[in-house]
Amino acid sequence: MKLKIAIQKSGRLFEDSVKLLKECGIDLNNGSKSGVLRTEASNFPLEVLFLRDDDIPQYVEDAVADIGIVGENVLLEKGKVVNKVEQLGFGKCRLAIAVPKSEEYTGAKWLDGKKIATSYPKILDGFLKAQKVDAEIHEISGSVEIAPGIGLADAICDLVSSGSTLFMNGLKEVEVILKSEALLISNKKLSDDKEALLKKLLFRVQAVKKAKRNKYILLNAPNERLEAIINILPGMKSPTVLPLAQSGWSSVHSVVQEDDFWNIIENLKAQGAQGILVVPIEKMIV
């Protein structure tokens, strides 16, 4: 018995999805490179199906795949009934409304009576209804950002990450409808065996995610400052402190979170810490 996972065949989520599986210690026999549409892991009961991202929610709902990796934007647009298992921290983007730079956008009411081009008609419709705006949705499947320039629409609703595509097409972002990232999804009715495999995989995914948010830090501290330095470094339980060969100094090891990383380093230096080393963590199990 194998757990079947659907991932994107090629595109923005492909590499990160394969990388995540690898970081979870799962070796795939071959990628999707040479037109292979399915493969098996050699060291985990996992079968991988490579699909277009748009099809993944349907396949998971229908139990053709047990689980899948897909952008939340696609999941919401398709409206399929699946379980959201875990946010994966990659494929981050936002679904936004953008208008020509020269327009004076005054709020959602500006969209009344306007024509909006999008590949996300369902999510956009939900937004317009919530805002009580009556606009025409013009569905197109790609190159949405050129629609205003060629007179096809007054505004667009499309995915944005850096914003450079909007900028290059003379558009400005005026509303964020949805913030999205890649999600691990699962079929609603997995067998107990498959549920157990998913749990095992999820345990690994969470360990990898946690490791990415944390760094291992090593530093030398003058003994008279040890207490102050330990207070700056909470660690997983408490920091490890080892005497150095040179008397009056200790080596301190700990784990710090990426979010407040630079503040911590500055405070450590201010307390006389030296030889600070910061090392990535591969897996973190607490």
Q: Is 91 in the site for ligand PRT (CB under 6 A)?
A: yes
Q: Which stretch binds ligand PRT (CB under 6 A): 19-27, 51-59, 218-226, 241-249?
A: 51-59
Q: Is 234 in the site for ligand PRT (CB under 6 A)?
A: no
Nearer to Zn ion, 37 or 279 (CB): 37
Contact 222, 249 (CB under 8 A): yes
From 19, 38, 52, 84, residue interacting with ligand PRT (rule: CB under 6 A): 52
Angstrom distance (rounded) from CA 205 to CA 197: 12
Please give the single-letter amino acid code of residue 263: N
The sign of the torsion formed by the CA atoms of 34, 37, 42, 43 equals positive
Nearer to ligand PRT, 165 or 206 (CB): 165
Q: Tell me the site size for Zn ion, rule CB under 5 A.
A: 2
Q: Is 74 in the site for ligand PRT (CB under 6 A)?
A: yes
Closest separation in Å from C-beta 283 to Zn ion = 32
Q: Is 181 in the site for Zn ion (CB under 5 A)?
A: no
Nearer to ligand PRT, 76 or 268 (CB): 76
Q: Which partner from the list ligand PRT, Zn ion, none does 118 bind, CB cut-off 5 to 8 Å by kind?
A: none
Angstrom distance (rounded) from CA 229 to CA 154: 58
Angstrom distance (rounded) from CA 283 to CA 212: 8
Q: Is 12 in the site for ligand PRT (CB under 6 A)?
A: yes
**Contacting Zn ion within 31-60 (CB under 5 A):** 53-54
Angstrom distance (rounded) from CA 250 to CA 148: 64
143-182 footprint of ligand PRT as x/- string (CB under 6 A)? ---------------xxxxxxxx--------------x--
Beta pairing partners, 161: none
Instruction: Give all strands (DSSP E) within the chain, no chain letters.
Output: 3-8, 38-40, 46-51, 67-71, 83-87, 93-100, 115-118, 136-139, 155-160, 171-180, 182-186, 214-222, 240-243, 249-257, 274-280
Beta pairing partners, 14: none
Tokens (6 digits) for 285: 């199990």
Q: Is 68 in the site for ligand PRT (CB under 6 A)?
A: no
Candidates 32, 30, 28; CA nearest to 43 is: 28
Nearer to ligand PRT, 179 or 269 (CB): 179
Nearer to ligand PRT, 178 or 230 (CB): 178
Binding positions for ligand PRT, rule: CB under 6 A: 8, 11-13, 52-54, 71, 73-74, 91, 93, 158-165, 180
Binding positions for Zn ion, rule: CB under 5 A: 53-54
